[in-house]
């Protein structure tokens, strides 16, 4: 359920947690609830973005944020964010998805290769720099299968992105202020798991859990 990205010689940890979420629900652990009044208040643009409440609630539970701004990228991917996204961020999302779709079609995958298939949540970064001082906007999440590893920060790890739902296809990334290429990579790599889930379940199962090693890109 987790994976390590290699980008610009910096190791980036990311976690696909939708499967973990299912396990939590099966064990009777409830996700954070979202007030209907809060969802409706100040979200006039939600209808245009067409993001259902359940998907919002799951992403907010993982990110520990409230997504109050809804929009779309120039190419039609849906975006929910804690703040109004910068133009560069929307362009970075489109760029990452474009690369994802190109490599997906190269592998003869045809499902979930449209911009409108995706919902990208942009959360506040829980840290801006990694332990080496490099720019690394990341989200903190429970350590789970990384507990006791070098990534364990005391019950949690920092992740570049989190898959929050497989249907609809949705994931959370940290808010960036620069290094848009990094943001594009995170979008592409989170999307790889979603493309595999909907096109090649065997390969998805083989690559979903990288806690014992492995890295992105998966699709080449």
Query: What tens digit of pLDDT does each residue of 131-163 get?
Result: 889 999 999 888 776 666 666 577 767 788 989
Q: 63 near 121, Cβ under 8 Å?
A: yes
Q: 159 near 5, Cβ under 8 Å?
A: no
Strands 10-16 vs 215-216: parallel, antiparallel or unpaired: unpaired
pLDDT of res. 28: 24
pLDDT of res. 176: 97
Closest CA to 191 of 138, 122, 114: 114
**For residues 204-210, average pLDDT:** 80
**For residues 167-192, average pLDDT:** 96
**For residues 181-185, average pLDDT:** 97
SS3 label, residue 23:
helix
| Tokens standing for residue 162 | 């989190």
Higher pLDDT pick, 218 / 172: 172
- DSSP-derived letter for residue 116 is G
Higher pLDDT pick, 137 / 48: 137
What's the CA gap between 211 and 3, in Å, rounded?
A: 7
- Beta-strand ranges (E) seen in the chain are 2-7, 10-16, 69-72, 78-81, 118-123, 127-129, 135-142, 156-159, 161-165, 169-174, 215-216
pLDDT at 181 over 50: yes
pLDDT of res. 148: 67
Among 44-48, 172-176, 200-204, top mean pLDDT goes to 172-176
Q: Rounded to 5 degrees, what are φ and ψ at 69? A: -120, 125
What's the CA gap between 95 and 89, in Å, rounded?
A: 10
- Beta-strand ranges (E) seen in 42-168 are 69-72, 78-81, 118-123, 127-129, 135-142, 156-159, 161-165
What confidence category does residue 214 fall into, taking pLDDT thresholds of 50, 70 and 90? low
What spatial distance separates the first Cα and last Cα of the chain, rounded to whole Å?
20
pLDDT of res. 216: 83
Higher pLDDT pick, 205 / 39: 205
Please state, rounded to an integer, the average pLDDT across all residues of the chain: 79
Q: How many helices, marked H, and strands, marked E, lie in the chain? A: 7, 11
Closest CA to 104 of 189, 210, 170, 180: 189
pLDDT of res. 208: 80
What's the CA gap between 138 and 102, in Å, rounded?
A: 26
């Amino acid at each position: 359920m987790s994976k390590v990205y290699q980008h610009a010689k910096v190791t980036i940890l990311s976690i696909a947690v939708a499967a973990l979420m299912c396990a939590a629900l099966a064990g009777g652990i409830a996700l954070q609830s979202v007030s209907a009044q809060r969802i409706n208040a100040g979200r006039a643009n939600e209808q245009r973005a067409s993001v259902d409440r359940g998907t919002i609630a799951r992403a907010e539970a993982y990110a520990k944020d409230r997504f109050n701004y809804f929009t779309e990228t120039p190419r039609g991917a849906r975006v929910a964010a804690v703040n109004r996204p910068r133009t560069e961020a929307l362009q970075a999302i489109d760029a990452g998805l474009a690369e994802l779709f190109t490599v997906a079609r190269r592998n003869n995958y045809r499902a979930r290769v449209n911009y409108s298939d995706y919902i990208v949540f942009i959360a506040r970064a829980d840290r801006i720099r990694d332990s080496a001082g490099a720019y690394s906007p990341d989200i903190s999440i429970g350590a789970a299968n990384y507990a006791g590893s070098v990534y364990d920060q005391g019950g949690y790890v920092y992740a570049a992105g989190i898959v929050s739902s497989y249907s609809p296809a949705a994931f959370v990334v940290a808010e960036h202020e620069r290094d848009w290429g990094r943001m594009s990579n995170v979008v592409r790599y989170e999307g790889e798991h979603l493309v595999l889930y909907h096109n090649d379940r065997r390969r998805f199962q083989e690559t979903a859990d990288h806690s014992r090693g492995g890295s992105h890109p998966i699709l080449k």
